[in-house]
Amino acid sequence: MQIETKLPKVGTTIFTVMSQLAVEHKAVNLGQGFPDFDGPPALRDALTRAMAEGRNQYAPMTGVPALREAIARKTEKLYGRKVNADTEITVTSGATEALFAAIAAVVRAGDEVIVLDPCYDSYEPAIELNGGRAVHVALDPRTFRPDWDRIAAAVTPKTRMILVNTPHNPCGSVFDASDLDALAELAHKHDLFVLSDEVYEHIVFDGAAHQSVLRRPELAERSFVVSSFGKTYHCTGWKVGYCIAPRALSAEFRKVHQYLTFCTFTPAQVALAEILESDPQHYLDLPAFYQAKRDRFRDLLAGSKFELLPVGGAYFQVADYSKLSDKDDLSFCEWLVRNGGVAAIPISAFYETPPPEQRLVRFCFAKSDAVLVQAAERLVAL
């Protein structure tokens, strides 16, 4: 049987490739972005209790009411946006599902969606599977800040949506208030939908505030905002996220969601609802928790030949390896895992057309101190 693939550019993800190499060569895996430590004990206890109490059947399609209500309270507290728990919040099976459902809800055949390179690898396949075309606009290759004039120049009559990500994966840059101003002006002028990937919303450093599009009514009224409990509570394997969107957009989003996964793991929703109410300090303390890891990792690498780029948020450190090698970044990562004993991710994997002279890799510092020390010792020795 001959099959014409719908995703001709998609193969095995770079995260899988590098993780397999890390296992094969017994390397320290700073590649795939997940913590190597567990979430709060109270959250795990709440999950066990929910299962023991029989909360093991289908959840409501839109999410357990107590969790949606807790999300609504948190959103108003942090961003000043009052959202309706019944009509504007949908709990999903991870942020990736939410991103796909938002794109599927409004992107039609022939539509264009602006994405900002480097960008997370699930964006373009979701756009293409729904008949759209991703239009790639590069961020600044050193600061990874958006050039709003370049972005505006990429808008055409076919542009339907712009997809933004702050704090940024893979590069750790963050929006400031001026970026929200520019985004709001662009979206209003061209009547665009906005899909805002904010899964690292609670991991912003140096006293900065997370600039959610929910802070601006003119943006919130045309946006899908996606977040992730896995990132906030160190439980990525639970695959629980959510999407906040105005009532009309949520209605279209839910039409897709109900036939994509229908609902999400019930005991986890019950547990997360409990922890959001009982321990809000966890997400309030998260910036300091990860900033300490960022600073520790940077200090450990101070004697290395890597140039460490600034990190404003998320849990990734981008490093320039030009003083170590003139190999392209994929070849360097393969060399590094075999000869240096550390797995990283090449930044080119997040680009449609990477800058030819760019020599950047991404390390994940959401790891225990012992792992960061072990990795740093190997990297400094290169």
How is 140-152 classified by DSSP, letter by letter? PTTT----HHHHH
Q: What is the pLDDT of residue 17?
A: 87
pLDDT in tens, 193-220: 999 999 999 999 999 999 999 999 999 9
What gap in Å lies between CA 146 and CA 337, rounded to an integer?
32
pLDDT band at 10 (very low <50, low <70, confident <90, very high): confident
Q: Which fold has domain 14-39+282-380?
A: Aspartate Aminotransferase, domain 1 (3.90.1150)
Side-chain-facing half-sphere of 46: CA atoms under 13 Å:
18
Sign of CA dihedral 135, 140, 145, 146: negative
The type of residue at 103 is I
Sheet holding 360-364, edge to edge: 307-308, 316-320, 360-364, 345-346
Give the DSSP letter of residue 204. Answer: B
Q: What is the pLDDT of residue 32?
A: 83
Distance CA 218, CA 189 (A): 12
Quick one: 4 exposed, middle or buried, by C-beta within 10 A (0-12, 13-18, 19+)? exposed
- Taking CA atoms, 85 is separated from 76, 88, 112, 365, in Å, by 11, 6, 31, 34
Enumerate the β-bridge partners of residue 251.
none
Mean pLDDT score, 13-28: 90
User: Is-cis flag, bond preceding 141, omega within 30?
Assistant: no
* Dihedral sign for Cα atoms in the order 175, 177, 179, 183: positive
Q: Per-residue pLDDT tens for 160-194?
A: 999 999 999 999 999 999 999 999 999 999 999 99
pLDDT in the model for residue 310: 97
Question: What local confidence, expressed as pLDDT, does residue 180 receive?
Answer: 98
23: tokens are 């296992």
* Range 20-41 average pLDDT: 93
| Domain 41-281 in CATH 3.40.640.10 | yes
Tokens of 111: 């539509």
pLDDT mean over 362-378: 97
- State in Å, rounded, how far the first CA of the chain is from the last one: 49
Residue ranges per domain, the chain? 14-39+282-380, 41-281
Question: Distance between CA atoms of 62 and 101, rounded to whole angstroms?
Answer: 13
pTM above 0.85, yes or no: yes
At residue 14, the pLDDT reads: 85
Angle value at C-alpha 350, between 347 and 351, nearest 5 degrees: 100
d(CA 53, CA 48): 9
Residue 223 has pLDDT above 90, yes or no: yes
